[in-house]
Amino acid sequence: MSGLNNPKIPQPKITVTGRIPDAGLDLLRSIDGSDVWAWMDDAVIPTEVRNEQLADADAAVTLLTDRVDDDFLAAAPKLQIVANVAVGYNNIDVDACTRRGVIVTNTPGVLIDATADLAMGLVLMSTRRLGEGERLIRSGTAWQWSMFMMLGTGLQGRTLGIVGMGGIGEALATRARAFGMRIVYHNRRNVDTEVEQRLDAQRVDFDELLATSDIVSLNCPYSEATHHLIDASALAAMKSTAFLVNTARGPIVDEAALVEALVNGVIAGAALDVFENEPTVHPGLLSLDNVVLVPHLGSATVETRAAMATAAASNVVEVLAGRTPHNPVSG
């Protein structure tokens, strides 16, 4: 049975499988009688160490680098909750957790602004060739200003197409409007009328978004339905002058197809914060100047990571007390 149907668990064992900010650990340790064990290294926890600490765990706090599957769950027969320190949970077999009565939670909301800031930064980096310019300076290559050196693309009057108009997509649209951009979006349903009016945003179908956008930003969740949503045909449907920005999940983009599109001028450029086989990056991307690559920094601010850890810990607090968690994915 899940923790929602159980009374408060006395002296709970909580296993934290990766290094998280102290704010989250302090909250977990404040639970009466709790025994908190945390892996304190940035390297991925060895499986044998993880399984040893899961053997008597009532709760597990996990990171995106953890694969929570049947093997993970088999090592944790007492487990009540898996609290993922992330919005995405494609690292978790939710069905397997549900079968075992284990609640899954995530941390939505707290990383909206940080991720939207990064997405807007990637828009600027790609359209204004900022990464390329910095690489030129750092390489020691001789250069001299000229009227036609590294010309980029302005944003004013350009169309930003947002795939997935949730909290991050809306926050990105707000930032883009400040740069004078027009907003179109593709979503399963319309956003609130007030939001559409404030952003002067128009909902369009996916094909129209690809065909009309100067920048396509991916802000949708990853699922079977969005796996390789951006493939060779989607890239071919975009403007040859358009840019692709991905701050969502790597497998939404077929990286091999993206490399071909960038090499052959099918689109003008791309900026990626996430990768299909992270942390491995397709080698074809590494040699291209018209792509910006950053190592999954969407939520990487001190404030946001602390808030994520606290949100995950708060979900654990609620479940171990026999209450409904704040952010249930299942249970």
Determine whether 296 is an active site residue. yes
**pLDDT 10s digits, 73-131:** 999 999 999 999 999 999 999 999 999 999 999 999 999 999 999 999 999 999 999 99
Q: How far apart are CA 153 and CA 244, in angstroms?
A: 14
**pLDDT 10s digits, 116-174:** 999 999 999 999 999 999 999 999 999 999 999 999 999 999 999 999 999 999 999 99
Query: Do 326 and 315 form a contact (C-beta atoms < 8 A)?
Result: yes
Q: What is the sign of the dihedral through the CA atoms of 86, 232, 215 and 185?
A: negative
Active-site hit among 129, 158, 182, 249: 249
Within 13 Å and on the Cβ side, how many CA atoms surround 91?
23
Helix, strand, coil shares, percent, the chain, to 5: 40, 15, 45
- pLDDT-based confidence at residue 330 (cuts at 50, 70, 90): confident
Residues forming beta bridges with residue 162, ordered by sequence position: 185, 217
Helix axes 22-29, 302-320, angle to 10 degrees: 20
Q: What is the pTM of this model?
A: 0.92
List, in order of start, the domains of the chain with CATH numbers: 3-110+302-330 (3.40.50.720), 112-293 (3.40.50.720)
Active-site hit among 19, 175, 296, 326: 296
Determine whether 278 is an active site residue. yes
